[in-house]
Structure 1
Amino acid sequence: MEYAVARDGMVDSLEHELRGVIEPDPVGTAMRAVPRHEFVDADHRAYNDRSFEAYGTRVLAPSTAGALVQALAPEPGDDVLIVGAGVGYTAAVVAEIVGDENVHAIDIARRVVWAARDNLRRAGHAGVLVDCRDGAHGFPEYAPFDRILVEAAAVDVPDALREQLAADGRLVMPLGTGEQRLATVENGGDIVHEGRSVAFAPLLVEGEQSGVPTRNRTHREDQEHAQKRADRRRGWELDWIDWD
């Protein structure tokens, strides 16, 4: 009961006319239903409007998560892709609106994916699909998507995500480097709106996520090293090994 009171207070502040971050329905209703304390190990502080760090990633503040979902404008039954899902809170809010089976979430960090799955299960949304993927490649097995939400910034929308967006779909993501804007993409991939100024971590590609060995050698260097090793071999080895 105490958590429910704190959650209502959080959502009331986001709906207040002086802030106008979210509308009462459906986003406000969804945020009132999701137990944020299951995603943030901070007890009642989970309902303060602030971000947290967990598993090497940033858990968005409620106002930021709410603004993303409000811009996304999901409707019941929409198929939704969430890229950079983090610990799963935003996915849970979206699932309250569209249904668990319609939410497909991906993140590049494996331990974050495991945490999101566990958090969603404890929050009552075990039906949300969370997979470990490179966000720039999307989730083609389940495309097209009516809505795509990217919780990481890039200079432009990745081509794969444009291709996986339904013809009448909507994509929301932060665009820019130093100065970022929350962009809404519609009409088959055209940017139709640039909203509030935001600050998100960049969209990572494979090898950049936390918890993996740093790789300094390039593909070209790999080829050069392999060729040098081949040139050093002599005698019988050259007769049966195809170095090409």
Structure 2
Amino acid sequence: MIRALLLAFSQLSDPRVRRVVWTGVFVSALAYALLAGGAWWALSVTPLSGYVWLDTIIDLLGGLGVLVVAWLLFPATVGMVSSFFLDEVVERVEARHYPALPAPRQAGLMEELGTALRFLLLVLAINLVALPIYIFAPGLNLIVFYTVNGYLLGREYFEMVAHRRLDRMSARMLRRARPLKPFLAGVAIAFLSTIPFVNLLVPVVASAFMVHVLQSMSAPLAAGRTTVIRR
């Protein structure tokens, strides 16, 4: 597992992989800059109370609130943007470490869009439900955070990578037959997601990481064929 993670980080030496990282960061930063600028402008031109001094305070607090929300959601947005390009990351990892693999199945644009949106909504929804525990249960909140997000991130990244080689049912059966590796990989990804600036690399590193995790597991290809994927 540690070797697989080190190999994933080493993949950042690939210029095409770094391009995916910078694309996610740039597009997300541009979107949030436009959003923050628009919100700040709307607050500044809208008199909310009729008192100049009070409107000034409201503008400052509102602008600060926009910046805080942008900071908190920025990594998730980078992940969503990067998810449209992660197939290229997986392709580069396979070409570098597993060149003997056959050609992968091709996912359509709607499938990739659905995967990206499903992943973002699922992570946000589960963490919103667990928010009271995060706030009011010190100590327990870390256990819940890493357990919940380890499961979610492990499942989503595993299925995203596995779907290049397996149909959905086969990928799900493989993960359920050997759940520990995807879960532990998900916990490692969740931990990296809590480190400032490193979390911007997580979508790319996690995808490369999960390729190595998948290749360490045996899986049947769908449609009546059986192939063993080996390290």
Q: Which has the higher contact order (CA 8 A, sep 6+)?
A: 2
Higher share in helix? 2
When normalised by structure 1's length, the TM-score is: 0.27
Question: Which structure features the higher share of strand residues?
Answer: 1
TM-score of the aligned structures, taking structure 2 as reference length: 0.28
